[in-house]
Structure 1
Amino acid sequence: MTPAPFPAARMRRLRRTNALREMVQENGLSTRDLIWPVFIRDGEGIEEPISSLPGVNRLSLDRLMPAAEKAHRLGIPAICLFPYTDASLRTETCEEAWNPENLTNRAIRALKAEFPELMVMTDIALDPYNANGHDGFVVNGEIVNDETVNALVKMGLAQAEAGADILGPSDMMDGRIGALRLALEEVGHRDVAILSYAAKFASAFYGPFRDAVGASGRLVGDKATYQINPANASEALACVARDLSEGADMVMVKPGMPYLDICRAVKDRFARPTFAYQVSGEYAMLMAAAQNGWLDGDKVMLESMMAFKRAGCDGVLTYFAPRIAAALHGQG
């Protein structure tokens, strides 16, 4: 529709006051839109700073609990656990990934016992447990698909048994959503949701995350044989369609801000719950600029969230989640 010509149409009329601007605002942000990624590690009394992620710490389980309580109090509906695994537990066979007593599974049980209404999301990929730093098994230099899928199913079932609400397969192996959904149904975990990393790109924005989980120095080669070429949009949509057809309840685009076009296309094409991950590199860039006084940190943090909402996202995984929630509650 074409607006009336000037001066009948003066677009600035509805920008004149804050009340008018808020009245006609097209998108909104609330704490319900947030999932908080949290890094955990073994030990006691540990809040270990991650140098490439300013303001983000690895937490031992005793420090995770008060952090989760604060998040829950602020109205953040879900946290997502990422383990920093001791080097002695990283092997080429990755059996620690489905150990019922591994760090992630112990954290799930502790969180659900203390905060049953707080949703716990997990990560399903082998890289925190893999001596080679890859999301899948490495055989003769190749990341093998089907053998990896079998391992991921065992990993997901262990997390579901521990009480996870949402499983997040981030590995990008072919067929893993269907295999995981079938296995969950067979053992009675019918209500466990799958938020698939359906459009995960082979991005350079993941560096600080790999530092956080201790995978940076172990990765041999790259992940281009299983993550999507950043140049490819149609392929990303095909991956989303496949994962939804195999039983994913929700889908994710990763990274976030450089891929808002993909977020919009996914929401428009499939009209299903669509999430984005504001990944470590995105967070680190904004934080570095704010710390240097080049940007207003709080304003760009909130503006970036509104960009996700405008692009059609139903929610965002972001390391800013506690700061955003506090700002929305006027506690900035």
Structure 2
Amino acid sequence: MIRNKLELRQLRYFVRAVELGSLSRAAAELGTVPSTLSQQISRMENSVSTRLLARSARGVTPTAAGVEFYREVQLALRHVDHAATVAQGARAGGRVSIGLAPTTADMVGMSLLRRLRERYPLLHINLMECPTGQLSQMLNSRKLDLAILFDVEEGQRWDSKLLGSEKIYFIESLRSTPTFGDKNRISLEQLEGIPLILPSANNGLRRMLNASFSYLSMQPNTVIEIDALGVLRNAILEGIGPTLHAWSAIASVPNNIELYRMVEVEGVTRSNSLCCLSQEELSMAALGARLSLIECFRELDGPNFTHQDDTPSP
């Protein structure tokens, strides 16, 4: 059992001491003093509760445990050095293709671009915005490295990570007469018969809503289908009709609370998953973009998005 965390410099001190057979020679080469080097190696031995070096007037030699430790540490240090080299190469350039649904692009698109440009200034970024049905097809055909998809079905061959979920709201124009009075929450059953503007059948949100209605043996009263987010927002504002959508549909609209009325639909949420074909197949640039996307979602704050880590256990 390791009592304390091993430090990288301790491992380098140990390897060099073994290779040179002398603490003083290793210290001189590493730019430190023998007492410091000896102290760090002693701390490392204490951490692993094992004597690794046998000290004598002629120098140092590894114990039996020290020989095994030396072999493993050499491998670990090679991996660390390789990782640093790869990271430098990723920063120097590369290409990555990322697919986002319109609402996701509104939610994290700019923060993602800023993060990627800061970390990887020479990275060629292809950021695509289209419905999740198309994103799924493009991911399968390898036209995308990464995509944020909604309510991913089990059995897909993707590598997916659930990032969190968004609440679904009944959204209407604030200028219209409130459909549900002063209620802040409604059930799905209360939407029966109410004319709605919804995305088309291939949209991930629509599929999720259809499944939720079907579970209650209901069907949404869809009078208009709109997949263009900007048109949908304007249609709501002009009183053409309300919609069911995630909070992110209007999150980026200036003064949205003065334009839209939002009533939470209880028990209905939309999950957000980060998907790729296989992490093993991703380039270092794509792996860096994947981490950046995860970080962007972690920074989302507010009552409308529940992070995966915050989801209560069943």
Give the TM-score, by structure 2 length. Answer: 0.28
Structure with the larger strand share: 2
Q: Which has the larger radius of gyration?
A: 2
Give the TM-score, by structure 1 length. Answer: 0.27
